Amino acid sequence: MIGVKAIGIFCSAAENISSIYFDAAREVGSWMARKGITLVYGGAEMGLMEAVARAVKDGGGHIVGVVPNRIVEREVQSRLLDETVLCDNLAERKQLMLQRSDLLLALPGGIGTLDEVFHVMGSATIGEHHKRMVLYNVDGFWDECWLMLSKLNERGFIRGQLSDYVGMVSSVSELEELIVNS
């Protein structure tokens, strides 16, 4: 992929969510492995995090886990990691993932994922980086968030255009097209 060697993925660590989200995570992971794109993620062995990592690993891809000490202490660190980057907390994890990634992709997730998405966009608005945040809209998961962001843009609360900071895709083929055309 043009200029994209590593994708940071933010997503849920929950286990009790619909299988449609697990299917999408596996599809993204398999695609990344086929394209030779490194996975950079939070390194936990739970939920969509482990599903995407397992698909990357099964496809022969490379995995970097940016793992907070608390994950290690709770013994829920994934065993699939090719490289482990330890950090003190979630704030440091976000920064390290941002540094190690060419593009950031948010699969469905909860409060932690929202925090990560807004951190990437917020830090871009003040010029800390020029990396793209992409929402992977599985089954309309990000629709309401996109509507809110669009309203912020329309009302002048976002510097520049919303598309300067975030994009939204609903399939691997749309993700690939977004990357190629960026």
Q: Mind listing the pLDDT tens digit for each residue in 3-56?
A: 899 999 999 999 999 999 999 999 999 999 999 999 999 999 999 999 999 999
Strands (E) located in the chain: 6-10, 38-41, 63-68, 83-87, 103-106, 132-136, 166-169
> What residue numbers bound the domain in which 162 lies?
6-181
**The token pair that represents 66 in the structure block:** 């940016």
CA of 5: how far to CAs of 29, 89, 101, 102, 127, in Å? 14, 25, 8, 7, 22
| Rounded Cα gap, residues 142 and 5, in angstroms | 25
In a domain, 1, yes or no: no
In a domain, 158, yes or no: yes
In a domain, 13, yes or no: yes
Query: Which CATH number do you get for residue 162?
Result: 3.40.50.450
> How many domains does one find in the chain?
1
